[in-house]
């Protein structure tokens, strides 16, 4: 790998990838462990926290709001230690706006965290985050009694004006979104009564699994979750398992690089997160999942994957997209190598991620000579077994970490070097991605 003028050269791996590895801590669970510990009374002990730009945004945010953080870097690159929360006295009024960087999770969950307190906090972020939709969060919180300034604001920066007299609500969410669900439930922790969120299809359930660890009365079922307030969360011990979204890139690399066979250990096997393994199975991939235990209520275990020379296209229905939303870019690359057409139904949510991932996937696959198109909200990819990139092809990551890793696999698993613009964005979720994959070739 070499780097010049924003472009990173990615060369083919010198050998297949083989052996056992770990991936960094789960990003979704890390954010929640940090934020819930800040809300809690007492000092929570957390291990396995992902050390990435996004999670550091959450850590800086809770420090600005009065939580005490003593997390140390561990030999494996994770963060571990104590977080002393503000408990029933609530967060302090910060001196300046809270900058969430590129982290949509930090910005959206903070709105729910701040809702029950008489503070006025301005939330902002980088250029990309300022374009992402926030109305989906502010609308239900306003029903609970929170005010936002300026009124009717769709995007960051937004000032949250919380209130101690929050009303519980039963909310029918227009889309399956774990961030939306979590923001409402976190506000509901302090509302007087039961707050319920109903969803059109299942989204990640880390919040419902983790809140009871902090002593919050929570109920969860398919497509519905509720909390009973008011209650003050109590300090907890949380172990963060490996991130399945990061594991997906190593798994797909093994499937595409001839002769490869890997095991990713201690990875979260939350059913709302490993939809990508089921999609790959339907493509005929040699992949298996094995449970080895659970932390709190989060299951974890091992994912094994072996090079598969003949993959086939498949259809991914709309109700499965929420469980693979972060993996669609890399699954699209695998689909490009498969025989036949792959269809991802209703992937409109990809238009409002870190970038318009839908357009970016089509653009990148076009550089490979692969026919990919969008019809309404569906993504179609006509696979080309044996496809090869032209040497020196430049892929634009659009400063999106998932796209940066996806296009890197074209070079790593192929036979010709390519270049990726703004590859550094991998720091958002998986800073050691290239090092880990190169270590597996030795």
Q: Within 10 Å of residue 110's Cβ, how many Cβ atoms?
A: 27
Asked if 334 and 311 count as a contact pair (C-beta separation under 8 A), the reply is yes
User: What confidence tier does 355 reach under pLDDT thresholds 50, 70, 90?
Assistant: confident
User: Residue range 231-256: average pLDDT?
Assistant: 97
- CA distance to 18, 70, 259, 442, per residue, from 15 (Å): 9, 41, 8, 8
pLDDT of residue 350: 87
Alpha-carbon distances, residue 233 vs 20, 64, 192 (angstroms): 38, 20, 15
DSSP assignment of 10-42: EPPPSS--EEEEE-PBPHHHHHHHHHHHHHSBS
With cut-offs at 50, 70 and 90, classify the pLDDT of residue 163.
very high
Q: What is the pLDDT, as a whole number, of residue 235?
A: 98
Are 330 and 406 a contacting pair, CB within 8 Å?
Answer: yes
Hey, which residues does 8 pair with through a beta bridge?
Answer: 3, 420
Write down the pLDDT at residue 352: 80
State the residue for tokens 């301005």: 122
Contact 335, 316 (CB under 8 A): no
Q: pLDDT (tens digit, 9 = 90+) per residue, 309-323?
A: 999 999 999 989 988
Work out the number of other CB atoms within 10 angstroms of the CB of residue 170: 11
**Among 161, 157, 159, which Cα is nearest to 125's?**
157
| Percent of the chain residues past pLDDT 90, beyond the cut | 91
1 — pLDDT class (breaks 50, 70, 90): low
Average pLDDT over residues 297-301: 92
**Which two tokens mark 107?**
């910005």
- pLDDT confidence tier of residue 297, bands split at 50, 70 and 90: confident
Q: Taking the CB of residue 95, how many other CB atoms lie within 10 A of it?
A: 6
**Does residue 412 sit in helix, strand or coil?**
helix
- Tell whether residue 132 is among the known ligand binding residues: yes
> Do residues 25 and 242 touch, judged by C-beta distance below 8 A?
yes
CA dist 105 and 163 (Å) reads 22
Q: Catalytic residue among 99, 243, 326, 400, which?
A: 326
Does the active-site annotation cover 326? yes
Distance of CA 203 to the CA centre of its chain: 12
Question: Is residue 391 over pLDDT 80?
Answer: yes
Residues 6+ apart with CB under 8 A from 344: 316, 321, 328, 331, 332, 378, 379
With bands split at pLDDT 50, 70 and 90, how would you rate the model's confidence at 240?
very high
Asked whether residue 3 carries a pLDDT value surpassing 80, the answer given is: no
Average pLDDT, the chain: 95
pLDDT digits (tens, 9 = 90+) for 105-159: 999 999 999 999 999 999 999 999 999 999 999 999 999 999 999 998 999 999 9
Is 177 labelled a binding residue?
yes
Query: pTM, whole model, 2 decimals?
Result: 0.91
Nearest residue to 40 via CA among 70, 81, 71, 85: 85
Residue 412 pLDDT more than 60?
yes
Summarize pLDDT for 362-389 with one digit per residue, the tens: 999 999 999 999 999 999 999 999 999 9
- β 261-268/298-306 pair status: antiparallel
User: Which residues are bridge partners to 234 per DSSP?
Assistant: 41
Alpha helices of 120-274 — where are they, by DSSP H? 135-143, 178-188, 206-210, 244-256
Q: Do the annotations mark residue 348 as ligand-binding?
A: no
Sheet of 43-49, strands arranged across: 68-73, 79-84, 43-49, 237-239
pLDDT bracket for residue 4 (50, 70, 90): low
State the average pLDDT over residues 326-355.
93
Select from 39, 74, 61 the least CA-distant residue to 129. 61
- pLDDT one-digit tens code per residue, 203-219: 889 999 999 999 999 99
Query: Tens of pLDDT along 30-79?
Result: 999 999 999 999 999 999 999 999 999 999 999 999 999 999 999 999 99
Domains by residue range for the chain, with CATH: 2-24+241-439 (3.65.10.10), 27-239 (3.65.10.10)
Residues 6+ apart with CB under 8 A from 66: 86, 91, 92
20 annotated binding-site participant: no
Termini Cα distance of the chain: 16
Q: Could you tell me how many helices (H) and strands (E) the chain has, helices first?
A: 12, 24
**Residue 47, pLDDT score:** 97
357 is in an annotated binding site: yes
179 is in an annotated binding site: yes
Instruction: Output the pLDDT for position 25.
Output: 96
What percent of the chain stands above pLDDT 70? Answer: 99
Q: How many residues does the chain have?
A: 442
Give the phi and the psi of residue 367 in degrees, each rounded to 5. Answer: -65, -25
């Amino acid at each position: 790998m070499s780097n010049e003028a924003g472009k990173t050269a990615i060369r083919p791996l010198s050998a297949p990838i083989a052996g056992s590895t770990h991936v960094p801590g789960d990003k979704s669970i890390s954010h929640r462990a940090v934020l819930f510990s800040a809300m809690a009374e007492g000092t929570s002990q957390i291990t396995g926290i992902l050390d990435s730009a996004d999670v550091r945004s959450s850590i800086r945010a809770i420090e600005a709001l009065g939580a005490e953080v003593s997390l140390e870097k561990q030999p494996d690159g994770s963060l571990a230690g104590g977080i002393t929360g503000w408990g029933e006295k609530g967060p302090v009024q910060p001196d300046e706006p809270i900058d969430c960087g590129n982290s949509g999770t930090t910005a959206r969950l903070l709105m729910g965290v701040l809702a029950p307190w008489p503070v006025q906090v301005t939330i902002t972020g980088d250029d990309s985050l300022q374009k992402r939709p926030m109305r989906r969060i502010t609308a239900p919180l306003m029903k609970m009694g929170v005010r936002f300034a300026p009124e009717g604001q769709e995007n960051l920066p937004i000032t949250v004006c919380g209130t101690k007299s929050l009303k519980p609500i039963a909310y029918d969410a227009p889309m399956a979104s774990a961030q939306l669900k979590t923001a409402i439930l976190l506000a509901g922790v302090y509302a007087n009564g039961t707050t319920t969120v109903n969803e059109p299809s299942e989204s990640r359930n880390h919040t419902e699994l983790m809140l009871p660890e902090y002593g919050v009365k929570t109920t969860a079922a398919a497509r519905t979750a509720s909390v009973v307030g008011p209650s003050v969360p109590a300090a907890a011990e949380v172990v963060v398992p490996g991130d399945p979204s990061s594991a997906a890139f190593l798994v797909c690399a093994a499937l595409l690089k001839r002769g490869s066979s890997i095991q990713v250990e201690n990875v979260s096997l939350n059913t709302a997160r490993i939809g990508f393994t089921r999609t790959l199975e339907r493509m005929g991939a040699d992949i298996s999942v094995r449970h080895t235990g659970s932390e709190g209520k989060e299951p974890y275990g091992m994912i094994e994957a072996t090079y598969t020379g003949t993959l086939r296209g498949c259809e991914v229905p709309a109700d499965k997209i929420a469980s693979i939303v972060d993996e669609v870019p890399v699954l699209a690359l695998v689909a490009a190598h498969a025989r036949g057409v792959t269809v991802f139904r209703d992937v409109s949510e990809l238009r409002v991620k870190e970038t318009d991932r839908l357009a970016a996937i089509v653009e990148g696959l076009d550089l490979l000579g692969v026919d990919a198109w969008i019809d309404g909200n569906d993504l179609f990819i006509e696979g080309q077994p044996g496809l090869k990139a032209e040497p020196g092809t430049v892929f634009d990551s659009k400063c999106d970490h998932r796209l940066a890793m996806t296009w890197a696999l074209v070079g790593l698993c192929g036979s010709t070097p390519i270049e990726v613009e703004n590859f550094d964005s991998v720091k958002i979720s998986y800073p050691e991605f290239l090092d880990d994959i190169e270590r597996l070739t030795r």
